[in-house]
Amino acid sequence: MSSPTTRGRPGAAMSTVVMTSPGVRAEVEDHYFSYALTMDDRRPNDWVATFLDSGVYAVGTHNNVSTTGMWWYTDRGLGALKERAAYTNGYLRHNPTRTLHTVTNVRAAETGDGRIEAAAYFVLYVTDRTDLSRLHVCGRYDDVLVRTDGGLRFAEHRVVIDAETLPANMGVLL
């Protein structure tokens, strides 16, 4: 994957040409599509279940991540992920927006240790109380996935926002 932000380490990049078997790519796409529906269906508690108990969720801007390796926030482990879900549940009760996540350009490569390094582009649209829909944010997912009995789960889910600053409303999950 071509970004210098792969897994949050400047210079840690995979090749821009990733030979992914169609089965692995389809498996990862299905995971991303289910993940997006979990957020769009307003199920933050189920969002937590998309991670390993030791999973990492991090969000940063392209400029910060690619130049300094700095993330806006990083949630590590089940406790922090549950706190993020609780915050989102409260936010959704007081600000009933609707979201539409789209995920595209999925790339994936199996690693020697049984994990899958994956990347994709995402776009998030938000519809507010007045039914006005607008682009909220777009960017890239840089992830490490692990196969479990329940399907793929995130060991690391790093969201790199393609902007200089984070959107004003970060109550939604990316």
10-residue stretch averages of pLDDT, the chain, 174 residues long: 42 51 93 96 95 97 87 94 90 79 95 92 91 92 96 97 78 83
- Alpha carbon distance, N-terminus to C-terminus of the chain: 20
| pLDDT recorded at residue 161 | 94
Question: Residue 108: what pLDDT?
Answer: 95
pLDDT tens string 116-151: 999 999 999 998 888 889 999 999 999 999 999 999
The residues, any chain, with a CB within 8 Å of residue 23's CB and separated by 6 or more, are none
Task: Decide if 144 contacts 54 (C-beta within 8 A).
Answer: no
- Are the C-beta atoms of residues 154 and 143 closer than 8 Å to each other? yes
Mean of per-residue pLDDT scores for the chain: 86
Can you tell me the distance from the alpha carbon of 82 to that of 91, in angstroms, rounded to the nearest whole number?
Answer: 14
Q: Which amino acid is it at 64?
A: N
Asked if 137 and 155 touch (Cβ cutoff 8 Å), the reply is no
Do 122 and 136 form a contact (C-beta atoms < 8 A)?
A: no
What pLDDT does 1 receive? 43
Output the pTM of the full model.
0.85
Whole-angstrom distance, CA of residue 107 vs CA of residue 92: 31
pLDDT of residue 103: 97
Note whether 112 and 53 are within 8 A (CB). no
Q: Look at residue 19 in the predicted model and tell me its pLDDT.
A: 61
Collapse the DSSP code of 119 into the 3-class scheme (helix H, G, I; strand E, B; otherwise coil) and give the result: strand
The predicted pLDDT at position 18 comes to 56
Question: What pLDDT does 142 receive?
Answer: 96
